[in-house]
Amino acid sequence: MDYKIYAVRIGDKYGVHYEHTLEQKLGPITWIREEEPGVHLQWNKLSVFSVSEDCPVVLIDIDLEFINDYSSLFLQPVQRGEFLVTRNWWWQDNGTARTYKFAGGFYKFWPEDTRYIYETFRQDSEYWQTYYIDQGITVGPVNGEMNFVEDMVRGRIGTTQSLKMKFVPDHWHTQWKNNRDDDYMSRMTKQYKHDYLWMGEFHPDIKMVHYQRESPLPSSGSRWMQAEKSHQTFSTET
Using alpha carbons, select from 103, 69, 108, 72 the residue that is nearest to residue 211: 103
Instruction: Please give the biggest Cα pair distance in the chain.
Output: 55
Claim to verify: residue 186 and residue 114 sit in the same structural domain: no
Claim to verify: residue 86 and residue 184 sit in the same structural domain: no
pLDDT in tens, 173-218: 999 887 777 888 888 888 898 889 988 899 999 999 998 765 455 5
Claim to verify: residue 14 and residue 70 sit in the same structural domain: yes
Alpha carbon distance 82, 114 (integer Å): 10
pTM here?
0.87
Claim to verify: residue 161 and residue 177 sit in the same structural domain: no
Task: Give the domain range for residue 182.
Answer: 170-235
Please give the pLDDT value at position 227: 32
Domain boundary among 151, 167, 183: 167
Please give the pLDDT value at position 178: 73
pLDDT in tens, 58-113: 999 999 999 999 999 999 999 999 999 999 988 765 555 458 999 989 999 999 99
Total number of domains constituting the chain: 2
Claim to verify: residue 143 and residue 198 sit in the same structural domain: no
Claim to verify: residue 83 and residue 201 sit in the same structural domain: no
Q: What percentage of residues in the chain have a pLDDT greater than 70?
A: 86
